[in-house]
Amino acid sequence: MTTLDLTPDQLLSTTRAVRRRMDFSRPVEKDVIRECLEMAVQAPTGSNAQGWHFVVVTDAGKRKALGDIYRRAFEMYRTMPGAAGNVFADDPVRGPVQQRVMRSADYLAEHMHEAPVLLVPCIAGRVDGAPGVMSASHWGSLLPAVWSFMLAARARRLGTSWTTLHLMFEKEAAGVLGIPFDDIAQGALIPVAYAKGTDFKPAPRVPLDDVVHWDGW
Ligand SMILES: Cc1cc2nc3c(=O)[nH]c(=O)nc-3n(C[C@H](O)[C@H](O)[C@H](O)COP(=O)(O)O)c2cc1C
């Protein structure tokens, strides 16, 4: 498929969490998902181990089951002090942005199962409770590939959104998809659909100077 005419910097700065602008009525071709996954597996992995697996869920019954799990987790998250809508509530700049994120997240929770494709990226091994060095190399060997998938998807007019909340019930999701839970860890749940329009913009972020440290903290 022909890709959008975006420079690398435009692609990197306009790949947004697409929730309300997903076109649930348009199917996503298997070949496009394969193209995005071909880009994903160009990402680096520790020791070049390539222990990743990508479960592509199109079956309506399984999407419904995953959507139900996600919504249950989302309802728990919503009440937590750290939830998007509950942090920075008194900040005149960040407060309204967080409220918008929460409304958008509410919408996704209602509609997750309607996305024609749900991608569950996985990695061999589990690092639950392991030291930082192990978890950094474990997740660092999967998550760059996931972001590459999302960039490749954006270039092909697809919208995606990184989500992790279903992992509150990871074992249950593993049961739905037949993933061997003891040996394979899920890293995310990524809804994929054609985006309504392609005109995504760079997002407001904390100023770089607040977070960059030259030559030490
Ligand atoms: C590790 C991680 C976990 C996330 N989990 C969720 C989630 O469970 N549900 C959701 O709606 N968005 C989730 N997001 C998306 C963020 O809310 C989103 O990236 C953020 O609001 C910034 O929006 P932007 O990506 O469009 O700039 C997650 C993002 C990351 C990186």
Q: What is the pLDDT of residue 82?
A: 87
Atom of ligand 1 at shortest distance to CA of 165? 8
Verify whether ligand 1 is closer than 6 Å to residue 17 (CB atom): yes
- β-pair type (22-23, 117-124): unpaired
If one residue of 104, 164, 189 were mutated to test the ligand 1 pocket, choosing by the most ligand atoms within 8 A of its CB, it would be 164
User: Angle at CA 66, nearest 5°, toward 84 and 41?
Assistant: 85
Both structure tokens of 214 = 């030259």
Q: What is the pLDDT of residue 85?
A: 85
Q: What is the pLDDT of residue 40?
A: 99
Q: What is the pLDDT of residue 136?
A: 98
Verify whether ligand 1 is closer than 6 Å to residue 122 (CB atom): no
Q: What is the DSSP string of the chain?
A: -PPP---HHHHHHH--B-STTEETTS---HHHHHHHHHHHTTS--GGG---EEEEEE--HHHHHHHHHHHHHHHHHHHTSTTSGGGSSTT-TTHHHHHHHHHHHHHHHHHHGGGSSEEEEEEEEB--TT--HHHHHHHHTTTHHHHHHHHHHHHHTTEEE----GGGGGHHHHHHHHT--TTTEEE---EEEEEES-S---PPP---GGGT--SS--
Q: What is the pLDDT of residue 84?
A: 84
- Tens-digit pLDDT profile for the chain (217 aa)? 899 999 999 999 999 999 999 999 999 999 999 999 999 999 999 999 999 999 999 999 999 999 999 999 999 999 999 888 888 988 998 899 899 999 999 999 999 999 999 999 999 999 999 999 999 999 999 999 999 999 999 999 999 999 999 999 999 999 999 999 999 999 999 999 999 999 999 999 999 999 999 999 9
The beta strands (E) that lie in 81-200 are given as: 117-124, 158-160, 184-186, 190-195
Q: What is the pLDDT of residue 89?
A: 85
Both structure tokens of 157 = 């007019």
Q: Residue whose CA is closest, atom 30 of ligand 1?
A: 162
**Interval between CA 184 and ligand 1 midpoint (Å):** 23
Q: What is the pLDDT of residue 155?
A: 98
CB 122, CB 189: distance < 8 Å: no
Q: Which residues pair with residue 212 across a beta bridge?
A: none
